Structure 1
Amino acid sequence: MKHSYLILMVFAFAKANSQELPPQLTGPQLLNKAIAYHDPQGNWSKFIGNLEILMTMPDTEDRISYVDINLPAKTFELISKRGDIINEYRVFKDSVTVAKLDLSQPDSTLTTMEADFERAVTMRNYYTYLYGLPMKLKDPGTIVSYEVQKKKLNKKEYLVLQVNYKPGVGSDVWFFYFDPITYKMEAYQFYKEKENRQPDYSTGEYILLSEEHKINGIRMPRVRKWYYNKDKKYLATDTIIK
């Protein structure tokens, strides 16, 4: 009788404790909490600002990029310099201008091709996507997994959100890593998509995020370090320096 009483007490204690635990977050709920951390005032949709970004890579000259984003006006400007070569990309709604200069040859202008105009739009999408995360995961065509995963990265356990994209919007499978307490985004990775929205684990890269750059009430990762998924080989570091 005494033994049965102890079993009931243990069961009651376990049940009480389980009721005190927070419910499991869904993917959309986790995303909302992450956005509340990074953009607590909801400023991203009306973002107007500029960034100065230093890119360092092994065995390659550093690149400095000046990025100007005006979402309400739908304008984007990127001026990047590596060595003596300067590339300028400007996008105003559907209008694109490109300029390429070689400082080693005064008054010279490098030839621009159709691919350069396509690259201007690609650069706009690239910078507004990566520096607009996680808010950009609310964009149309984004498929946020309902289930939240738990994964370890660099010996730390994260809440992980899988994101796929509808055809015509994106073709990669993304995983976003959030601190389980603050919901701060601390890493993300992507793979090429196979059939049935499954990742091809032999492809893609992962990016570690650190420090913070606060601009217009938004917390952006200041440092991004890029690695290959396949062999963890280091690729590059992007750092917001202003």
Structure 2
Amino acid sequence: MMCTKFLLFLMLILAFQAWEQKSPAEELLDQSIRYHDPKNNWPKFSDSLIINQEVPGKTMRNTRMFIDQKESLFSHAQYRNDTLFTRIVRNGECTYQMNQINLRIDKAEKLGLTCDRSKMLRNYYTFLYGLPMKLKDPGTILDPEVTHGTFNDQEVDILKVNYDPSVGKDTWYFYFSPENHALVGYRFYHDESKNDGEYILLNGEKVIGEIKIPARRTWYVNSDDRLLGTDFLQ
């Protein structure tokens, strides 16, 4: 009887350990997060990001953003010609300013400032500048295996990510340095069989809010390696 109870107890322990064991992909993601955000500051991140954006054939565009994770606040300020337009999303509610003066919603909409667009910008920038931490978000489907390959002529560890359909439909690949697990680039496809989508090279780092954020992002088309643009953290 004692032997049976002991074996049952042992089986429960082994089952619990197997359930708790992380996949290789989860281990790599945790290692990368420890590199970029060693003090777990992303959940309470509150700081400004100033981004210069270069697109071939266009003048440089400057964007100033403020992200406050705890207060659910996002602001996006950008000049159109000589006019400064600011979008603010706080707790899902949108407001607008023109040259730092509040705009009525109806006037903002006539100027092309919509809440849907403001929320899209919030989601876009907090995703890109919150990586790799954002890969912990609900709806992220992490392939359990880590693969190895090359990206931008360097050896990398690779994570494949899909999303719950309620979150997104693209397929993503994230590339990490085998030495320190830093995120060095990523690629996405709308339809991988068509080789559509884009890839992004990351270079340099800036420490903002005690988080190591890639300083330069260069965007290319998957199908023909055409340069789309470059974003620089100021």
2:179 to 170, 178, 181: 181
TM-align CA RMSD: 1.8
In structure 1, the residue matched to 2:228 is 235
TM-score by length of 2: 0.83
Q: How far apart in 1 are the matches of 2:110 and 2:45?
A: 30
In structure 2, the residue matched to 1:61 is 59
- Note if contact 1:96-1:117 (Cα within 8 Å) is conserved in structure 2: yes
In structure 2, the residue matched to 1:40 is 38
- Note if contact 1:56-1:238 (Cα within 8 Å) is conserved in structure 2: yes
Structure 1 stretches of 4+ moved >6 Å: none
In structure 2, the residue matched to 1:196 is none
Letter in 1 for 2:36: H
Q: How far apart in 2 are the matches of 1:87 and 1:201?
A: 38
Letter in 2 for 1:214: V
Q: How far apart in 2 are the matches of 1:87 and 1:63?
A: 13
Task: State the Cα deviation string for residues 181-223 of structure 1 (Å, max 9, x = none).
Answer: 1100000011014xxxxx3442110000001010111000000
Q: How far apart in 1 are the matches of 2:108 and 2:36?
A: 40
How many residues get paired? 205
Q: How far apart in 2 are the matches of 1:33 and 1:177?
A: 13
If you compute each CA radius of gyration, which structure gives the higher value, 1 or 2?
Answer: 1
1:203 to 196, 201, 209: 196
In structure 2, the residue matched to 1:136 is 134
How big is the shift at 1:53? Answer: 0.5
Task: State the Cα deviation string for residues 124-183 of structure 1 (Å, max 9, x = none).
Answer: 001110000000000000001101111212221100000100011111111000001110
TM-score by length of 1: 0.80
Any idea what SS the aligned residue of 1:54 has? strand
2:216 to 216, 223, 229: 223
In structure 2, the residue matched to 1:164 is 162
Consecutive unaligned residues in structure 1, runs of 5 or more: 1-24, 102-108, 194-198
How big is the shift at 1:84? Answer: 3.0
Any idea what SS the aligned residue of 1:60 has? coil
